[in-house]
Chains A and B, each alone.
Chain A
Amino acid sequence: MREPVWEFLIVNYLFLGGLSAGLYFASALATWIQEDGHSAYPRIARWGAVLAPWPVSLGSALLVLDLGQPFRFWKIFFHFRWRSPMSIGSWLLVAFTFLSLAYLWSWLEQSERQSLLARIPEKIRTRIPVRVRGWLDLDASAWRRNLAMLGFPIAVGVGIYTGVLLGAVQARPFWNTNLVAQMFLFSALSSGTAALVVARLLDQEPVELKEMRFLYSMDITLIVLELFIVLPYLIHGELSSLAVKHALAQVLGGPFTIVFWMFFMGVGLLLPLAIELYEFKPVILGKGTFHIQPRWALTAGGLVLFGGYMLRYVFVFAGQATGFR
């Protein structure tokens, strides 16, 4: 067993980056779907916009902390190396972070914008050119849909990047398949949606059933898609070269078996799926009335987030334990 050189700071980074991508994607979708010229799910969209910038910012900070030379992180941005997933991903994350902040700004009311601007110390505020101040106080609500549309590919790119970072490494047979990028993408989108379920239920505003119906539909779809990536990953691996079969032994009898099958697959994927399907049963069967048990919904949302974290934990640690020796 090789000693891992990437540990929990990287696990956190991958999870938080994916979470932000998922939050933005779900929020953008909620913005995109319109009723009478307005967002059909404004509270969901707003919660997603408010939450999206922060996990990725925290995750990027953790990545910098993980560097052997943290104060040299800026050197990444003095190069663009198209063959390095980390180089492309770093630029992508910066673009995504700024975009999500702009998107957040477009969802703020004027009073909120002004109270935020008022927090800037007087000394600094008076030095900001009037023109720039005008921009900062601009009502960008008309741009919500455009920002949402612009953000779709970038959010998906961030979600894929977290998988490509691992999947592009030929030296680790556990990782080296394009299914990893897809797995991480669906996990990221599912985690973002689950985070919105949790946020919405913890919100003071009463929950509308159509909102939960939207979120549940999305989360069920994404979990099923994730399931249909994980299983092919395992089957494909078992039918691959001996090195890949040996690598998969990490989760098929090896040290990560319990974490993978119990905590990720069971608790993090199948259990929340079962809960959500049970609550969604009236919609699927077309009889009965759809309603939400808040405790069940919070449990399902929390479990999805837990599962997303476990997936990245297993992949980061198990992958580094594999090689061709």
Chain B
Amino acid sequence: MATKTLKTAQSIRRFAMVIDAKKCINCKACVVACKAENQVPLGVFRNWIGEEASGEYPRLRMSFDPEQCHHCADPSCVRVCPTGASWQREDGIVLVKEDDCIGCKYCIIACPYDARYHNPETHTVGKCTFCSHRVDRGEVPACVETCPSKVRVFGDLNDPKSQLHQLLATRRYEVKNPQTGNGPQLYYLL
């Protein structure tokens, strides 16, 4: 009974991430953590910090914008993949079966967030996995754990008690490029 209950509970999880970009100081700890945790090759990235300057001296302003795979509800990359190498778990995490990937790069082009890269070592496509190996152990992704400003909050959208759920219930937020219909699960607090 306990096992069945646990499985039932697990099957309706939907992982997502909330990002409070205003707290970001662009220290790049999350980028380094991701590289270290997932052995990402040199020259390519699973997450990165966008930078934008606005205004003029003496009222100059820098915005930092953490980016990564949005693990969409209806991901373009999964749709266009000719071999099914790109796939989505029930809990929403989008992954790539490296053995099935032929390296056609169609998913890289199809992603509206430019979140995928061509792995120069394996010549297949790589991307953010929400550190699924850690999530399966009940931990949070490496980038979430390491962030000194607590910019990122990872959790289950369907768990009303989670911090993520409470943040979304009480704060205003936006998602990027909703017009593509992908249903991104990266929420940016306003």
A interface residues (Cβ-Cβ under 8 A, vs B): 2, 5-6, 66-69, 72-73, 75-76, 78-79, 81, 83-87, 90, 168-172, 241, 243, 320, 323-325
Q: Are B76 and A171 in contact (CB under 8 A)?
A: yes
Q: Are A84 and B112 in contact (CB under 8 A)?
A: no
Tell me which of B102, B108, B179 contacts A67 (CB under 8 A).
B102
Chain B residues within an 8 Å CB radius of A169? 76, 80, 109-110
How far is it, in angstroms, between the C-alpha of A45 and the C-alpha of B45 when the chains are bound?
53
Chain A residues within an 8 Å CB radius of B13? none
How far is it, in angstroms, between the C-alpha of A171 and the C-alpha of B79 when the chains are bound?
13
Q: Are B82 and A76 in contact (CB under 8 A)?
A: yes
Tell me which of B114, B124, B176, B179 contacts A68 (CB under 8 A).
B124
Chain A residue with Cβ nearest B101: A69
Q: Tell me the residues in window 100-152 of chain B with beta carbons closer than 8 Å to chain A beta carbons.
A: 100-106, 108-112, 114, 118-119, 122-125
Chain B residue with Cβ nearest A2: B114
Q: Are B82 and A5 in contact (CB under 8 A)?
A: no
Chain B residues within an 8 Å CB radius of A243? 179
Chain B residues within an 8 Å CB radius of A172? 109
B interface residues (Cβ-Cβ under 8 A, vs A): 76, 79-85, 100-106, 108-112, 114, 118-119, 122-125, 176-177, 179-182
How far is it, in angstroms, between the C-alpha of A147 and the C-alpha of B62 when the chains are bound?
65
Chain B residues within an 8 Å CB radius of A78? 83
Chain B residue with Cβ nearest A169: B110
Most buried by B among A6, A68, A76, A78: A68
Tell me which of A5, A68, A84, A324 contacts B102 (CB under 8 A).
A68
CB distance from B124 to the nearest CB of A (A): 6
Q: Are B109 and A6 in contact (CB under 8 A)?
A: yes
Q: Are A324 and B118 in contact (CB under 8 A)?
A: no
**Lowest 5 CB-CB distances: which A-B pairs, in order?**
A68-B103, A68-B123, A171-B112, A87-B82, A86-B82
For the residues of A in contact with B, the DSSP-based class is loop
Could you list 6 A-B pairs, sorted by A, with CB under 8 Å? A68-B119, A68-B124, A79-B84, A84-B79, A170-B182, A324-B112
Chain B residues within an 8 Å CB radius of A170? 76, 110, 112, 180-182
Chain A residues within an 8 Å CB radius of B125? 68
Q: Are A81 and B123 in contact (CB under 8 A)?
A: no
Chain A residues within an 8 Å CB radius of B124? 68-69
Q: Are A72 and B112 in contact (CB under 8 A)?
A: no
Chain B residue with Cβ nearest A170: B180
How far is it, in angstroms, between the C-alpha of A5 and the C-alpha of B106 when the chains are bound?
9
Tell me which of A75, A83, A323, A325 contacts B83 (CB under 8 A).
A75
Q: Are A84 and B101 in contact (CB under 8 A)?
A: no
Chain A residues within an 8 Å CB radius of B103? 67-69, 72
Known contacts A5-B109, A86-B106, A323-B112; is-contact A81 B81 (Cβ 8 Å): yes
Q: Are A73 and B76 in contact (CB under 8 A)?
A: no
Chain A residue with Cβ nearest B83: A75
Chain B residues within an 8 Å CB radius of A171? 76, 109-112, 180
Q: Are A84 and B109 in contact (CB under 8 A)?
A: no
Chain A residues within an 8 Å CB radius of B182? 170
Q: Are A83 and B105 in contact (CB under 8 A)?
A: no
How far is it, in angstroms, between the C-alpha of A225 and the C-alpha of B45 when the chains are bound?
44
